[in-house]
């Protein structure tokens, strides 16, 4: 059972909340124990997965834990039979409603085959299935949960699992660290959840080529611990606990993307189990290749809809010898955004450039017992890697090397300081102490969870838009105006050097008007970004949350299905507006060609109204 793992993520800085949560958690366990007889004791560690969150020293969205505990009181039925006839509509309305889906019957024969493949390890335990069916970092829910959870140990096992599911036409949802934010890991049609957490071996490290071959279930934090003694690291840093397979599947990025690029730029090759069970290697280990279609990039960002990634070859970077973190405040968020643009235009090689508005800084203060000035804030990181070559060539004396690193980093910070002073920036501070820097980035990484310190009972709708850099200041300032005018608590966090920004909109899930308001704000930001040649998702992906459909089609489909459409605005056309229907049709053709039985993560990514 996974609740204990959940609790292990709680931080001491949240001791009161933890106490409350624990009380509620054990209360619900007791309630459940009293009213139910033949159940598996819920208070054990996940058999297959006892260390799921060991790298994540993190706090949790308490509200989600609360809602999980509540469900414990009376476990919902495995499937909602009344929705069985609604095949193919999973995902519509995901921001407002439970994601619909049609439950596919899982025959006993398949369960027996899975037992044979996974050495008796497939789990049909309710708690395990429930845990895997409820995203841990988003409010999305689905009518169904997986019928079976399997924990393969090898590519061969994955291939055999997929072959069996394809034979029985049973849906599959690949599952990594479950840190995704748009309901990616929901199982609206039930089926088989393939949890990759037992496949986390490092298969080969090539220090001289600066690449590594790993199984896809390894986490980025675990990988970096492994690489550190070799002076290398993997520079993508999404949610703590994310796996390399999930990161490929969502085409994620993070705070270092401004310097190193996204997952698209850092994967050399993949091995993928296709929906018919065939195993494909997408490229060689060479750094570049012009050999045919780029299958690697087809799979990156496919969100588990084209196959299960089993092996990944990644580019690595040298750990920088010297770095400085600088922070400064601004009277308005526009000033902060303007400085981000000016810094990037200056040609400086920043490795991180992150923005938080005053509300987000307040959340960080509350969650971490800090006293940062509650103003729009920029965080920069400058690194001294570029002087490595000079150092190697001209000096080996460590003193002289350090001086060079420092001089280089200082020169960058001086240039930025000048830009900042031209934009009304103040309180420019540096951190050079390794522990202080680590803490600052950890706080930033966990900023999303920090928001729940302000409204522990609420849920969060997280927008993730990205625009060409020159439009960032305009987008942020007009979004901020809308957010400030709203009765909801909303924070702004941005990977500002990339033109990518998030708002965390906190809402009470029991208040219809708050849900509508959160959805309205999200719609506003997405459509403003789209009008600026931007995207509805810079890094979090589509999942079910961004899979909006054309309103007229949606309305007639919903009318036909006798659903209420009132809480959906006419503005809910994200992907189609961004990419055009022809691009979506092309995606659907690819999906159909590779997955004719539509077993791989059905009901995600491609809106259901797209036909060809
Ligand atoms: C606090 C916090 C901060 C975050 N910060 C960032 C950020 O800065 N940048 C960013 O980009 N994202 C961020 N995220 C989002 C999230 O961490 C990323 O989307 C991440 O890439 C998801 O990886 P995962 O292993 O958790 O995938 P999961 O959530 O398990 O799965 C995501 C999708 O990938 C598929 N999948 C998983 N494993 C495989 C596989 N082996 N083969 C095929 N498909 C697979 C699943 O079916 C699903 O569709 C953040 C999340 C949190 C909670």
Over residues 186-242, the pLDDT tens digits come to 999 999 999 999 999 999 999 999 999 999 999 999 999 999 999 999 999 999 999
Does the beta carbon of 254 sit less than 6 angstroms from any atom of ligand 1?
yes
pLDDT at 21 over 70: no
Give distance in angstroms: CA of 78 to centre of ligand 1: 25
Higher pLDDT, 350 or 554: 350
Give residue 598's pLDDT.
96
Phi, then psi, of 370 in degrees rounded to 5: -110, 175
DSSP 137: S
Segment 246-259 shows an average pLDDT of 97
pLDDT grade, residue 64 (50/70/90)?
A: very low
* Nearest Cα residue to atom 37 of ligand 1: 246
pLDDT tier for residue 387 given thresholds of 50, 70 and 90: low
User: Between 77 and 603, whose confidence is greater?
Assistant: 603
In the chain, how many H helices and how many E strands? 22, 17
Query: Residue 537: CB within 6 Å of ligand 1?
Result: no
pLDDT for 401 equals 66
Compute the distance from residue 537 Cα to the ligand 1 centre, in Å: 13
At 534 the three-state DSSP class reads: coil
Q: How far is the centre of ligand 1, averaged over its atoms, from the C-alpha of 428 (Å)?
A: 34
Residue whose Cα lies nearest atom 51 of ligand 1: it is 239
Across 274-391, the runs of DSSP E, i.e. the strands, are 279-281, 308-315, 317-318, 323-329, 350-356, 377-383
Beta carbons of 606 and 588 less than 8 angstroms apart: yes
Rounded Cα distance between 305 and 524, Å, is 28
Centre of ligand 1 to C-alpha 53, Å, is 14
User: 427 falls in which pLDDT band (50, 70, 90)?
Assistant: confident
- The residue that leads in pLDDT, 413 or 489, is 489
Is 413:382 a contact under the CB 8 Å cutoff?
yes
**134-138, 278-282, 415-419: which range is least confident on average?**
134-138
**What's the gap in Å between 462 CA and the centre of ligand 1?**
14
Pocket of ligand 1 contains residue 308 by CB under 6 Å = yes
Q: How confident is the model at residue 412 (pLDDT cuts 50, 70, 90)?
A: confident
pLDDT band per the 50, 70, 90 thresholds, residue 100: confident
What's the pLDDT score for residue 607?
86
> Ligand 1 centroid vs 250 CA: distance in angstroms?
6
Quote the CA–CA distance of 185 and 173 in Å, as a whole number: 7
Task: Quote the longest CA-to-CA distance of the chain.
Answer: 76
More confident residue, 69 or 128: 128
**The tokens of 246 are what?**
């999930």
Does this chain's domain 3-194 share its CATH topology with 323-447? no
User: For ligand 1, what atom is nearest to the CA of residue 543?
Assistant: 49
Per-residue model confidence as pLDDT tens digits over 174-184: 999 999 999 99
Region 323-447: CATH code = 3.30.70.2190
Specify which residues 327 forms β-bridges with: 379, 429
Q: What is the mean pLDDT of residues 409-419?
A: 84
Q: How many CA atoms within 13 Å lie on the side-chain side of 386? A: 13
Judged against a pLDDT cut of 70, whether residue 118 lies above it is answered with: yes
Task: Give the range among 168-172, 242-246, 323-327 with minimum mean pLDDT.
Answer: 323-327
pLDDT the model gives residue 388: 57
For position 408, what pLDDT does the model report? 75
Please choose from 189, 252, 466, 500 the residue to mutate so as to test ligand 1's pocket, defined by most ligand atoms within 8 A of CB. Answer: 252
Average pLDDT over residues 127-143: 91
Higher pLDDT, 28 or 539: 539
Predicted model pTM: 0.83
Q: E-assigned strands of 266-332?
A: 267-273, 279-281, 308-315, 317-318, 323-329
The residue nearest atom 20 of ligand 1, judged by CA position, is 247
Are the C-beta atoms of 141 and 97 separated by less than 8 Å? no
Residue 393: pLDDT over 70: no
Whether the pLDDT of residue 525 is over 80: the answer is: yes
Residue-level pLDDT at 403: 72
Q: What is the pLDDT of residue 547?
A: 81
Residue 174 near ligand 1, beta carbon < 6 Å: yes
Answer yes or no: is the C-beta of 5 below 6 A from any ligand 1 atom: no
Helices (H), 213-256: 220-227, 244-250
Structure tokens at 7: 């609790």
Ligand 1 center to 501 CA (angstroms): 17
State the chain's mean pLDDT as an integer.
81
216 close to ligand 1 (CB < 6 Angstrom): yes
Decide whether any atom of ligand 1 lies within 6 Å of the 376 Cβ.
no
* Residue that is written with structure tokens 């009470």 in the block: 508
- Range scoring the smallest mean pLDDT among 34-43, 138-147, 481-490: 34-43
Assess if CATH 3.10.20.30 describes domain 202-318.
Answer: no
**Residue 71's pLDDT band (cuts 50, 70, 90):** very low
What residues contact 49, with CB distance under 8 A and at least 6 apart?
2, 5, 151, 195, 197, 198
Residue 165 has a pLDDT of 98
β-bridge mates for residue 350, sequence order = 382
Mean pLDDT of 365-389: 85
Quickly state the pLDDT bin for 58 (edges 50, 70, 90).
Answer: very low
CA of 374 to the centre of ligand 1 (A): 30
Nearest CA to ligand 1 atom 19: 180
Residue 236 C-alpha to ligand 1 middle, in angstroms? Answer: 12
Q: Which fold has domain 3-194?
A: 3.30.43
Question: How many angstroms does the Cα of residue 499 sit away from the middle of ligand 1?
Answer: 20
Reported confidence tier of residue 422, pLDDT bands at 50, 70, 90: very high
Lowest mean pLDDT among 71-80, 124-133, 539-548: 71-80
Binding site membership of 538 for ligand 1 (Cβ less than 6 Å): no
In this prediction, residue 349 has a pLDDT band, given cuts at 50, 70 and 90, of confident
Report which ligand 1 atom has the smallest distance to the Cα of 255.
8
Higher confidence at residue 108 or residue 398?
Answer: 108
Mean pLDDT, rounded, for 125-138: 92
**What is the per-residue pLDDT across 301-324, written as a single tens digit (0 to 9) for each?**
999 999 999 999 999 999 988 888
Give me the phi and psi of 70, to 5 degrees please: -60, -40
Q: How far is CA 76 from CA 127, 129, 171, 172, 399, in A?
A: 11, 12, 20, 21, 65
Q: What percent of the chain has pLDDT over 90?
A: 62
Name the residue with the closest Cα to ligand 1, atom 52.
239
pLDDT higher than 60, residue 36: no
pLDDT at position 92 is 36
Q: What is the mean pLDDT of residues 471-477?
A: 94
Architecture of the CATH domain 448-531: 2-Layer Sandwich (3.30)
Domain ranges in the chain are: 3-194, 202-318, 323-447, 448-531
| Closest approach atom of ligand 1 to CA 196 | 41
pLDDT of residue 430: 84
- What spacing in Å lies between the alpha carbon of 391 and ligand 1's midpoint? 38
pLDDT greater than 50 at residue 130? yes
Q: How many percent of the chain have pLDDT more than 70?
A: 77
Closest CA to ligand 1's atom 15:
180
């Amino acid at each position: 059972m996974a609740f204990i793992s959940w609790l292990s993520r709680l931080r001491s800085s949240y001791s009161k909340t933890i106490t409350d949560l624990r009380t509620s958690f054990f209360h619900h366990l007791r309630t459940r124990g009293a009213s139910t007889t033949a159940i598996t004791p819920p208070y054990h560690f996940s058999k297959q997965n006892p260390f799921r969150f060991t790298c994540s020293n993190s706090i949790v969205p308490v509200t989600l834990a609360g809602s999980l505990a509540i469900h414990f009181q009376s476990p919902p039925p495995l499937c909602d039979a009344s929705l069985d006839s609604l095949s193919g509509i999973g995902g519509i309305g995901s921001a407002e409603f439970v994601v619909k889906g049609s439950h596919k019957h899982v025959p006993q024969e398949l369960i027996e085959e899975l037992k044979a493949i996974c050495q008796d390890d497939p789990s049909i335990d309710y708690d395990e299935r429930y845990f895997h069916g409820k995203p841990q970092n988003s409010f999305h829910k689905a009518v169904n949960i997986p019928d079976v959870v399997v924990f393969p140990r090898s590519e061969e096992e994955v291939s055999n699992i997929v072959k069996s599911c394809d034979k029985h036409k049973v849906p599959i949802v690949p599952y990594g660290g479950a840190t995704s934010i748009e309901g990616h890991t929901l199982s609206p049609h039930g089926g088989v959840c393939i949890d990759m957490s037992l496949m986390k071996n490092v298969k080969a490290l090539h220090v001289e080529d600066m690449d590594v071959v790993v199984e896809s279930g390894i986490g980025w934090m675990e990988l970096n611990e492994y690489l550190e003694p070799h002076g290398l690291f993997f520079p993508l840093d999404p949610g703590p606990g994310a796996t390399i397979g999930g990161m490929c599947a969502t085409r994620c990025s993070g705070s270092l993307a401004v310097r190193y690029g996204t997952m698209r730029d850092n994967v050399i090759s993949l091995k993928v189990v296709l929906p018919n069970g065939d195993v494909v290697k997408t490229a060689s280990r060479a750094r570049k290749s012009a050999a045919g279609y780029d299958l690697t990039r087809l799979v990156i960002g496919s969100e588990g809809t084209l196959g299960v990634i089993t092996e990944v070859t990644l580019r690595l970077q040298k750990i920088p010898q010297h770095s400085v973190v600088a922070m400064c405040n601004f009277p308005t968020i526009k000033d902060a955004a303007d400085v981000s643009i000016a810094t990037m235009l200056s040609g400086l090689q920043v490795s991180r450039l992150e923005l938080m508005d005053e509300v987000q800084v307040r959340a960080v203060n509350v969650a971490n017992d800090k006293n940062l000035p509650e103003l729009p804030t920029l965080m920069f990181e400058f690194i001294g890697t570029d002087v490595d070559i000079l150092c190697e060539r001209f000096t080996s004396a460590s003193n002289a090397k350090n001086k060079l690193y420092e001089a280089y980093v200082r020169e960058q910070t001086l240039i930025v300081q000048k830009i900042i002073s031209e934009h009304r920036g103040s309180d420019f501070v540096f951190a050079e102490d390794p522990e202080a820097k680590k803490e600052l980035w950890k706080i930033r990484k966990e900023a999303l969870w920090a928001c729940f310190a302000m409204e522990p009972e609420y849920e969060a709708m997280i927008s993730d838009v990205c625009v060409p850099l020159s439009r960032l200041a305009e987008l942020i300032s007009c979004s901020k105006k809308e957010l400030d005018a709203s009765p909801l608590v909303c924070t702004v966090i941005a990977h500002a050097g990339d033109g990518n920004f998030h708002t965390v909109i906190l809402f009470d899930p029991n208040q219809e008007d708050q849900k509508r308001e959160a959805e309205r704000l999200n719609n506003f930001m997405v459509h403003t970004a789209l009008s600026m040649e931007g995207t509805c998702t810079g890094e979090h992906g589509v999942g079910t949350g961004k899979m909006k459909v054309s309103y007229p089609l949606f309305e007639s489909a919903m009318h036909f299905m006798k659903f209420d459409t009132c809480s959906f605005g006419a503005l809910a056309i994200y992907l189609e507006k961004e990419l055009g229907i022809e691009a979506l049709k092309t995606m659907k053709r690819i999906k159909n060609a590779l997955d004719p039985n539509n077993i791989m993560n059905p009901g995600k990514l491609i809106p259901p109204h797209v036909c060809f």
